[in-house]
Amino acid sequence: MFKIFSNKNVDKAQLLEKANSLYVKKKYASAIKYYAKILLLDSTDFPSVANTATAYFEMQKYVEAIPFFYKAISMDSDNPWWYNYMSQSMQKCGDFSNALDYAWKAVLLGKNDNAHHLNLAYTIYETSDEIGRKKTDSYLKKWYEKFPQNPIAEQCYKSYFYDKNFDISNPEYIEELFDVFASDFDSVLADLNYDSPNIIAQYLREYFNKKKREKLSFLDLGCGSGLCGKQLKKIFKKSTFIGVDISSQMLKKAKEKNVYDKLVKGNITDCFCSNDSLFDVVVAADVFTYFGELDSIFKKVDSLLCKNGVFSFTISENFDNKNDYYLMPSSRFVHSINYVENILKKHNFFVIKNECKILRKEGDNDIKGRVILAQKQ
């Protein structure tokens, strides 16, 4: 949520009050017209400059926003958010090189504010994808040099300069990423045609229809905002659901869906909720992109499932090399299907379904992965 700036100048108070009222109601185009009237009276009126910039940004009119962000920076040069918004606007306009410069300035000014570190991470990824790594590599090196303890800087550096010993994402990185992402998570994934929860739910519907079982106990690992639980609850209405996630903000979103009987905050590698009885089903939708080594997790899942319990999850498949798992520049892990199948077998799972599916979109590209349903033997 952008801050609404106010101005106590009596001559402009009425116009500004009207403009701000429209802004709060998200009537950005109308608000901009009133800010424009104020700027005709006084071109240095900072609240009108700042709110016009952010109004254009909210309307996704990035070309129009950029001149006002320039002016906001000239008037309030120590505020990292103007540089952050400028970098995002420039990126949307295809000016990746300058977007990277402004993202870096936001990090230097914001220091320990991880919102700016996340913006830099995303800008580096987009820039390297569009114009190559010549410029991004230098930023990665100085970023990690200056902020070696920052989990986002570490994750990005080690994903670009491949570290074979880096086999799990830093929990602080995951927590910060999803705390920041939580407010927009559902709408962003809807735009990406995110389909993993639906596919998992359909797999389990088919499986349990044959078993003629309706009342089950589910453990949703990395439940996030509850998208998978929501799909499952539609089918298994009489069942109980427990969700585990590392992000408190995502858990708040999950709670709003009224799906889960219990929600637990914790890292899935070391926080498995205690339960009087074992689970019938464990699900993990797009969770293992943040874990390379899966042996220890699958072992724990085995211990949590009742006899003949089932485990359904997704992975992003490694098509780049012959490694069991590989950390991509996107800071996500991909896995060899042979590795996953071998680990499942090692921990007493029989694979019922293993299919390649389109899990979501990324830009104009379909992102394919594996959706797996396995039964404990």
Residue 26's pLDDT band, with cuts at 50, 70 and 90, is very high
Q: What is the pLDDT of residue 267?
A: 86
Say if residues 302 and 349 touch (Cβ distance below 8 Å): yes
Q: For domain 185-376, give the fold.
A: Rossmann fold (3.40.50)
Higher pLDDT among residues 335 and 274, named by residue: 335
Mean pLDDT of 336-359: 94
What SS3 class is residue 366? strand
Q: What is the mean pLDDT of residues 178-200?
A: 89
Mean pLDDT for 19-36 is 94
Has residue 235 got a pLDDT over 60? yes
The three-class DSSP label of residue 75 is helix
- Say which residue, 279 or 365, is predicted with more confidence: 279
Residue carrying the six token digits 């293993």: 354
Take residue 169 and report the two structure tokens written for it.
């994402």
Closest CA to 129 of 367, 330, 333: 330
Q: What percent of the chain has pLDDT over 70?
A: 93
Question: What angle, 0 to 180 degrees and rounded to 10, lies between the N-to-C axes of helices 96-110 and 136-146?
Answer: 10
Q: Report pLDDT digits (tens) over 71-90.
A: 999 999 999 999 999 999 99
- H helix intervals, 239-334: 248-256, 295-304
Q: Mean pLDDT check: name the lowest of 125-134, 166-175, 270-279, 314-323.
A: 270-279
Q: Domain-by-domain residue ranges, the chain?
A: 10-183, 185-376
Average of per-residue pLDDT across 115-126 = 92
pLDDT at 368 (0 to 100): 84
Determine what percent of the chain is predicted with pLDDT higher than 90: 67
Distances (CA, A) of 357 to 6, 192, 372: 51, 14, 10
Give the residue among 196, 188, 256, 264 at the shortest CA–CA distance from 232.
196
- Distances in whole angstroms, Cα of residue 288 to Cα of each of 298, 336, 375: 11, 12, 18
Q: What string of DSSP letters covers 102-166? A: HHHHHHHHHTT-HHHHHHHHHHHHHHHHHH-STTHHHHHHHHHHH-TT-HHHHHHHHHHTT-TT-
Question: Nearest Cα to 304, choosing from 205, 235, 184, 219?
Answer: 219
The reply to whether the predicted model has a pTM over 0.95 is no
Provide mean pLDDT across the span 361-374. Answer: 85
Annotation: CATH topology of 10-183: 1.25.40
